[in-house]
């Protein structure tokens, strides 16, 4: 999937769409790519003179790249993190780097998915984590917004 195809599946939009390409292997392994351009909002203050992709953004990148694993379920739903466990940050990521994400589903309970994922740059492990996210019906989100008015 290219960026435009990803937008048809995910509700994320710029500046929070943090995946450029996604593929799904026949064995159920997801692969995602994000090219760190250097002009991203999160690099502007993290850190002046030494821009580094924040760990929380790395978690978001691996989460978005993992979404292709649930492509058959996501229509009419929005993915929300329900957990990030065992997150480890091994190497920093900088402007000009290409982040390569690999992920797979380890468990599913209803519309809650449990994922093991890692992100690498040039074959070097940068981030790894156990993720879980829930797919919430968009109708429930709309009803909640209406109730808040």
Q: Which residues contact 66 (CB under 8 A, 6 or more apart)?
A: 30, 32, 101, 103, 115, 117, 131, 133
Q: CATH number of the domain that 20 lies in?
A: 3.10.129.10
Q: What is the pLDDT of residue 148?
A: 72
| Predicted TM-score of the model (pTM) | 0.93
User: Whole-angstrom Cα distance, residue 60 to residue 17?
Assistant: 9
The residue among 62, 122, 69 whose CA lies nearest residue 98 is 122
**Total number of domains in the chain:** 1
Half-sphere exposure of residue 122, counting CA atoms within 13 Å on the CB side?
Answer: 6
pLDDT above 70 as % of the chain? 96
Q: Where in the sequence is the domain holding 15, given as residue range(s)?
A: 3-148
Give catalytic residues, as residue numbers. 46
pLDDT in tens, 43-97: 999 999 999 999 999 999 999 999 999 999 999 999 999 999 999 999 999 999 9
């Amino acid at each position: 999937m290219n960026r435009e195809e990803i937008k048809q599946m995910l509700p994320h939009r710029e500046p929070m769409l943090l995946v450029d390409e996604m593929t799904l292997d026949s064995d159920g392994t997801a692969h995602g790519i994000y090219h760190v351009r250097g002009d991203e909002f999160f690099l502007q203050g993290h850190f002046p003179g030494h821009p580094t992709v924040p760990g929380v953004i790395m978690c978001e990148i691996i989460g978005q790249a993992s979404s292709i694993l649930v492509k058959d379920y996501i229509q009419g739903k929005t993915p929300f993190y329900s957990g990030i466990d065992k997150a480890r940050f091994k190497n920093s990521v900088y402007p000009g780097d290409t982040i390569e994400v690999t992920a797979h589903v380890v468990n599913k309970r209803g519309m809650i998915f449990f994922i093991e994922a890692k992100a690498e740059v040039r074959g070097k492990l940068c981030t790894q984590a156990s993720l879980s996210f829930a797919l919430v019906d968009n109708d429930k989100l709309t009803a909640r917004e209406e109730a808040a008015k």
